Amino acid sequence: MELRIRGVSKTYPNGVRALKDVTLTIPAGMYGLLGPNGAVLLSTHIVEDVSELCTRMAIIDQGELLLEAEPLRAVAGLHGRIWRRIISKHELPAVEREHAVISTKLLAGRTVVRVFSDTAPGPGFEPVEPDLEDVYFSTMAGHLGRRREQPEPEAAP
């Protein structure tokens, strides 16, 4: 079920107009709230919605803020760090053991793996342009944001 909001206007007591005759359709699978300050909060699994509608985003998992960023900057920050390889299904466990696989998809019966790596991960991998899905999966896997693995401090002599 989609939610349609039509003709919404909001003017604060001090005369500042936050919204003027806004019409919005929120598709099924997306949830939206209009806050008292005029901010719109969207909760969605549809990544394209975020990149098209939002100038700032946050990735939150079980109440923990993992990443807050501008979508385009977050994607740019992954440039040169996302790699792709097409493999057969039986190769996947070995690839997952050897590389930081952030996502997999099927393509014509083959498995497309996307890997997070600062350097070329090995034969058969090709660099790809990152997208917002890569930001999400890299963040959830701990390669970006607050879950990012920090180097352990060296023991004092």
Tell me the whole-structure pTM to 2 decimals.
0.68
- What does the pLDDT average to over 33-42? 55
Instruction: Indicate whether 38 pLDDT > 60.
Output: no
pLDDT digits (tens, 9 = 90+) for 118-140: 999 999 999 999 999 999 999 99
What Å distances lie between residue 66 and 35, 70, 77, 126, 146, CA to CA? 22, 14, 16, 28, 5
Q: Please give the Cα distance from 103 to 112 (Å, whole number).
A: 8
Q: Which pLDDT band holds residue 24 (cuts at 50, 70, 90)? A: low
- Residue whose entry in the numeric block shows the structure tokens 């050897």: 98
In degrees, rounded to 5, the angle at the alpha carbon of residue 122 between the alpha carbons of residues 91 and 136 is 75
Distance CA 69, CA 78 (A): 13
Mean pLDDT value across residues 112-118: 97
Q: Which residue has the tokens 């960023």?
A: 69
Q: Is the pLDDT of residue 80 over 50?
A: yes
Check: CB of residue 31 under 8 Å from CB of residue 43: yes
Give me the percent of the chain exceeding a pLDDT of 90. Answer: 41
Which tokens in the block code for residue 145?
């944001």
Provide the pLDDT for residue 88: 93
pLDDT digits (tens, 9 = 90+) for 47-61: 666 667 677 887 877
DSSP string, the chain: --EEEEEEEEE-TTS-EEEEEEEEEE-TTEEEEE-TTS-EEEEES-HHHHHHH-SSEEEEETTEEEEEE-HHHHHHTTTT-EEEEEE-GGGHHHHHHHS-EEEEEEETTEEEEEEE-SS--STT-EE----HHHHHHHHHTTSSGGGPPPPPPPPP-
**Predicted confidence band at 145 (pLDDT cuts at 50, 70, 90)?**
confident
